[in-house]
A = this chain, B = another copy of it.
Amino acid sequence: MKNKYQTLVNQTIPISKAIGWHLQSLDATNIISRTELKPNINIHGTGFAGSLFAAAMATGWTLLKCWSDHQHYSNELVAAEASIKYVAPVTEDFICEAFIDINNELYTQLLERLKIGKGASYLQRVDIKCGSTCCAILEIRFVFKSIKRIED
């Protein structure tokens, strides 16, 4: 599972290689990635805000893509909007962690819409950490686009 999605991301989102983004663990509802600091520094020698966002976005997208594949949905998955708070500087290789809370009402709504072939949106949180320190929090509103059929 991990190797399949590492390859998928590296092949389809090539900047994931340049930022040194590596999957550490992945299942249908949990993901952890590790990203190298060195290619992602800023003028202060800490993590560049843009790189932290890109690594966390790749992490959130991979989790929802894996979940969606697992559920056998073929909707196109895109980010509609996102917001990030930078809490502490990133001073070493960093972790991006996310999970899908299947007990949440938003998850139930997502499932219900996808089951009847509708598009749906879902808010996914990704935490960016150095060791036990939370350095940034990203929230992404993803959209699962409904598959348009050409009527005869």
Contact = CB atoms under 8 A, between A and B. Distances in A.
Interface of A: 8, 12-15, 18-19, 39-44, 48-51, 53-58, 61, 76, 78-86, 140
Contacts of A81: 83-86
A51 B54 contact: yes
A8 B42 CA distance: 11
Count of chain copies: 2
A105 to B, nearest CB: 24
18 contacts: A8-B43, A12-B43, A13-B41, A13-B42, A14-B41, A15-B39, A15-B40, A15-B50, A44-B76, A48-B54, A49-B140, A50-B53, A53-B54, A54-B54, A79-B86, A81-B84, A83-B83, A83-B84
A63 to B, nearest CB: 14
Contacts of A43: 8, 12-13
Contact of A85 (B41, B57, B58, B80): B80
A139 to B, nearest CB: 9
A76 B42 CA distance: 12
Given A44-B76, A78-B44, A51 B86 contact: no
A39 B53 contact: no
A15 B86 contact: no
A49 B83 contact: no
A61 B41 CA distance: 14
Nearest to A89: B78
